[in-house]
Each structure stands twice: as C-alpha cells, then as structure tokens.
A and B are shown apart, each in its own frame.
Chain A
Amino acid sequence: MNSLTNRKKVLASKQMNFWERIYLPAIINGLSITMKHFFKKRTTVYYPEEKRSFSENFRGLHSLKRDENGAERCTACGLCALSCPAEAITMTAAERKPGEELLYREEKYASVYEINMLRCIFCGFCEEACPKAAIFLDGDIAKAGYIRDEFIFGKDKLTEPVIK
C-alpha cells in the first residue's frame, strides 16, 4: 500500500558490515563534513555594526511628518487614537496662534502627542487613518529601555526634524 505522503521509509535492522563496524570511515566522513562547514562563507550579520535593510513595507517607529514648508501636518483630529487597537496614542489639541503659520499647517494642532511604545503593536492603522498624511511608521526598530517612562514617546522624539 502506498503511503499518503510518499515519504515512507522502510527501515531494516541489517547487520553492519566490517567497514561500518570499525566506524573509522564514518568518522572520517563526518570530519570532512565539518571541515566543509569550516570554510563555508558565514551568513552572520554583525548586528550593531552592520544592519540588514528593512523591507519596503516594514513598520517601524512612528514619525510625525512636516509639510514642504516645515510646518507640522498633524491637526489633532484624533482619528489615529480612535483607530488604535492598542490605545497607545494620546493627544491634546491646541489652537494655532497668529504668527505660528510656519510651525503648524492647520488651525488646530497637537500640543501634546504621545505614543506608548510598550502598548503599540505596530499595526499601522494610525498611518491608514490619518487624513493629513501626518504619521508614518517609517522609522527604525523600537529601542530598548530600562524604565517604562522611557517608552512613552512624546513629540520631541516623534516629530521629524526640519529639513533646512
């Protein structure tokens, strides 16, 4: 009867012949195999010194984007916080004062914008929900830290630097 997987192996406990019983050929064979591995090119990536490139759709740390004039795009509508399944995003909205047009693109902006990186699951829903294209998960992998407060990222860490 054929086996379902076609991978059935018939095993027999046959007596080993003389060459098999003295083990030496098998040991020499094994030594040659390990020697082959000795000279093989290693696939190790020396992590802190060299990093693998991320894939196109990798979702890393968030960044709050600026428009072409360097003004923050976020208008504190709260859709990202609403869409966040982990409830990691909190924000406080504020009204733009006259003279701050170059700082904030819309009349309302987020004076406080915090993401708790311990809660965040990097699903990218905030990115999808944002009507102003203000948040993208295009950063590096999340950093390690010693205390929980280090993982609450405010605007100082999230806002992308002004391009001069």
Chain B
Amino acid sequence: MDIAFIIEKLILISAILGISLVIAMYTTLAERKFAGFFQDRVGPNRAGPWGLLQPLADGVKLFTKEEIIPTHASTFLFVLGPSLSMFTACITTAVIPWGQDLFLFGRQVSLQVADINVGVLYVFGVVSLGVYGVMIGGWASNNKFSLLAAVRSASQNISYEIAMGLSIIALLMMTGTLSLREISEQQAGMNWNVFYQPLGFLIFMICSFAETNRTPFDLPECETELVGGHHTEYSSMKLGFYLFAEYINMFVSSAIMASLYFGGYNYPFMHLISNPNLAALIGVAAFFTKILLFIFFFIWVRWTVPRFRYDQLMKLGWKVLIPLAIVNIALTGVGILIFWK
C-alpha cells in the first residue's frame, strides 16, 4: 500500500466528514428558517446576515452549558449513548459513491472511501446499530420517560427496518449487485431506478423517515407525551450530539436514497461532456443537489404532517408497508421475467 493512496483516502475521509458535518450544521439552520417560511414567519435572522451564524451560536451555547449527569444514571452508558449515535451517523458515509473517478496527478482517484461489494448490507448494518445510541442513552438515563422512548425507538426501528429491507430486495433483484458504486453506475444518464421501482422507493422513503426519527415518526422524542424522549436527561453537548446525529442521519439517508433510486451522481446528457474530471465534478454537484432536495423534502414533510399515534405507527409498519413491500417483490419478479429475459 503506497503512501499516496493513504494520503488520498485521508483527504477524502476528512473532506467527507467535514462536508457532512457542515451540511448537518446548516440543515439545523435551514430547518428553522424553512419552518419559519412554512408558517409565514421569517425564522432566525439575528446572528449574522440572514442568520447564517446561527448554527455557530447554537454550538457555542451547547458547549458552554452546564453538563449534568444524573446521580443514578450509569455514567459510562450515559456518555456512550450520544457518542454512539454520532459515530454510527458518520460512518455510513464511507460506502456512498460521491462521484465518478477523478484523474489527478496521473492517478485515478476514487470518490468513494470504500467500494465494498456489500455496500447496501453495510448501510443496513450501520443503520440498525444507530438505534443503540438512542436505546442506550434512554436506558442509562434512569428516567421512565427516557426508557419509554428508548423502547419505542427500538421497536419502531426494528419494525421499519423489515419493510426497508424488503423494499431494497426488489431493487437488488433488478440491479443484481450489492455494491453502491455499481448500482450508481447502472443508472447512467436518466436510467434512474425510481422509474422502475416507484413503489419500492415510496416504501424506502417512508422507512427512511422512520429510521431517522423524523416527523411524522418522531415518537422517540415525542414532547407531548415523553417530555423530551430519550434525551430528557441530557444537557450540554451530549444533547447537541443527539440532535446533531439526527441531522447527519438525514443527510446520510438522503444520500442513500439519491444513490439507490435517483441516479446518484448521474445526470442527463452526462455522456456529452468529454473531459472526465469536469464530468465527475458536475456529477458530484448533481449528487449534492439531489441530497439537498431530499433534505428539503424531509423538512417540508416535518412542517406539514403531524405525528403518528403509536398504534398507527405500528399498524402502518406491519400491516401496510411490509405486505406492500412483499407485493412489490412479487411484481418486480414478474416484471423481470416478462421484460428482461
């Protein structure tokens, strides 16, 4: 393994981590701004021009707040909870293909940290780990509201992961690969999977909302019933980590939806651009545009749809989405038999 390769990967990893953190940071501002717009308000506009320094102010505020660990909480797990949330939110970005290969200094630079051939499985594994952050945090708090939220969150994620996995199976039957890079490459131009798998995409998207604990599935932090849910006992930057992890999760699931169903870094008429570096960079821009549109959609839905009741959530997950996903698999199988062969 040569030095250049390690440097290349190090730069890529820091860039991706930095970009995802900055995007998550500014998503918090966008959320508050757009919430204002949706409700005919203006949103935060005091810190810097148009409130652009608001995320920094929030960060400074959270860092300087008093750090409280409840006496009867299990200290180790209490600290582990938000750290795990943050960690699992960040590591999913490793398998996402951000763009086509660049040709720099006579080297072919891949814009993907790790092109593992089980990329989709890796994403699912990490996403299922994500619930441990909420669960451990809620459990370690030694607070009944937190514990209830943790239980809710665990059962919600388990229920929706099944539907999510089943909706992906239909996609995998078509693509025949688990590598996110190959799936992206197959969708060259406008050959996006969403046109072949609209139902699968719908199920996947609904499950993404549930997995990221976003409204209408934000039951783990349901203020009206559970005070603050799993982060009731948290203060200072540990609370910040929980809230921030949600935004990173949003970014990551937007990226996954974009690369699985909306063509990833592909864009129409990309074969007309002869310079490969330019084509790759436009591809990266196209990918981020898609991601940002998805993030906007997340925010849009949050300020439109009210929260589900818990039984409705379970009913939707088990009685609607899972059967639908199975029907989708059957339909895809029939479709492949008729049209592909």
Contact = CB atoms under 8 A, between A and B. Distances in A.
Interface of A: 27, 30-31, 33-35, 37-38, 40, 42-44, 46
A116 to B, nearest CB: 33
B303 interface: yes
Contacts of B41: 42, 44
Chain B facing A: main interface SS: loop
Given A27-B304, A27-B305, A34 B38 contact: yes
Interface in B162-198: none
A42 B34 CA distance: 13
Contacts of B37: 37-38, 42
B38 A37 contact: yes
17 contacts: A27-B305, A30-B305, A31-B300, A31-B301, A31-B304, A34-B38, A34-B300, A34-B303, A34-B304, A37-B37, A37-B39, A37-B40, A38-B37, A38-B38, A40-B40, A42-B37, A42-B42
Interface string B263-281: 0000000000000000000
B40 A30 contact: no
A30 B41 CA distance: 18
Interface in B28-59: 34, 37-42, 45
B101 to A, nearest CB: 38
A142 to B, nearest CB: 24
Contacts, number: 30
Contacts of B38: 34, 37-38
A110 B303 CA distance: 60
B40 A35 contact: no
Contacts of B300: 31, 34-35
Contacts of A35: 300
A43 B39 CA distance: 11
